[in-house]
Amino acid sequence: MHLYGLIGFPLGHSFSSGYFSDKFKRENIADSKYENFPLPDITGFPELVRSLPHLRGLNVTIPHKTAILPYLDALDDAAVEIGAVNCIRLEGGRLIGYNTDAIGFRHSLETLLQPHHRHALVLGTGGASKAVKYTLRQLGITYRLVSRHPQGPEDLAYGQIDQAMLEQYTLLINTTPLGMYPAVDTAPALPYKYLTARHFLYDLVYNPAKTLFLHQGEAQGAVIKNGYEMLVLQAEAAWTIWNKP
């Protein structure tokens, strides 16, 4: 039996567990199992791995995507640049870290990108923004980070976003948990009235399928997309990594 799983805390009803369990049934993959491994403290990671002799791969979610790095034997190039790992392959006793969030985000984003989407506002500066920033650099899209407490000299506060700025920055990406169930009545504090059909709003949140952020963009004619396809694509990318020769 090949074992795969998810580490993080808390896990609750994780996307990965349900997705892979359904995948194994749908594709008649009889020799594989996927489990959640709640890990409150990353220091418990080595013992967890030692206790699972049939383990072949892991997904990593909050709060361990960065904290896991010192426990790995190697990283692929993208994970090094991103500075975060959400996928681990066990290979000959070694733990190799990857970031499939970037893969999923890029392929999900590209399908709706237009030539005028060359400047982005990335809402939030937490761990979820790392793969987004990496992908935008790969695509040649310039970006500014927006948060409640800007840190870098180029970062913006929400109160600085005005009509003139939104005329230039037509791609808006929410990497914060604002609007996620159960707090569905929350959204990044933006002047949504200045959005137009030229804007593309992408929300990494997928539950609910249409957050308040997306609702307000749609009301102004903007193109919208949630993070569900990104999750599916990153999960399939992880499966490929775990099972490559």
Q: What is the pLDDT of residue 51?
A: 97
pLDDT at site 62: 87
Is 57 or 13 the better-scoring residue by pLDDT?
57
Active site residues: 65
Predicted structure pTM score: 0.93
Phi, psi dihedral angles at 229 (to 5 degrees): -60, -35
Q: Are 119 and 170 in contact (CB under 8 A)?
A: yes
As given in the structure block, the two tokens for residue 99 are 């970031």
Residues 6 or more apart in contact with residue 173 via CB below 8 angstroms: 120, 121, 122, 123, 132, 201, 202, 203, 204
pLDDT per residue as tens digits for the range 77-105: 999 999 999 999 999 999 999 999 999 99
39-64 pLDDT, tens digit per residue, is: 999 999 999 999 999 999 999 998 99
Query: Tokens for 197?
Result: 């059909």
Q: What is the pLDDT of residue 160?
A: 97
Q: Which domains does the chain have, with CATH numbers?
A: 2-98 (3.40.50.10860), 103-228 (3.40.50.720)
Query: Residue 127: pLDDT band by 50, 70, 90 thresholds?
Result: confident
